[in-house]
Structure 1
Amino acid sequence: MSKAKPMSPKAAARIQAAGAAKTGGQTAKGGFVARAQRAAAKGSNPFSAKK
């Protein structure tokens, strides 16, 4: 099995665009789109705490 890659902001934006197009612009709080955005923000911040 391959090692997981961090979520990039570009990938998160693509996911958000696809999700918004499917639901008429609405995204659920805490849904997959929100989690993707959070992961991208956490992964792209060089000052975030790594666990």
Structure 2
Amino acid sequence: MAMGKGRGSKGSSGGGKSGGKGGPMNAEAAARVQSAAARNPDSRSAQTGFASRAQSAAAKQDSAQRDQ
């Protein structure tokens, strides 16, 4: 079956690691986001600043876990 212009038809790595697991951002996930944004500066992650927000969220999550 041919893929149309819908989701995943262009620029998708197909790695299966995306899809919003809904859990808190961790350092490993933030590193994946930043790496992907660096590989493709035209991506939405890079253009919207999501990579830096992911890193910030991971740092806050790490700090919160240490405070417990």
Q: TM-score range by the shorter chain?
A: 0.5 to 0.7
Q: Equivalent of 1:38, from 56, 61, 65?
A: 56
Q: Tell me which structure has the larger Cα radius of gyration.
A: 2
What's the offset of the Cα at 1:14? Answer: 0.3
Between the aligned residues of both structures, percent identity stands at: 44
Cα RMSD over matched residues? 2.1
CA distance in 2, matches of 1:6, 1:23: 25
Q: TM-score, normalised by structure 2?
A: 0.51
Higher-RCO chain (CA-CA 8 Å, sequence separation at least 6): 1
CA distance in 2, matches of 1:38, 1:9: 9
Kindly tell me the number of residue pairs found equivalent between the two proteins. 41
Structure 1: gaps of 5 or more residues: none
Structure 2: gaps of 5 or more residues: 1-21
2:35 equivalent to 1:17:
yes
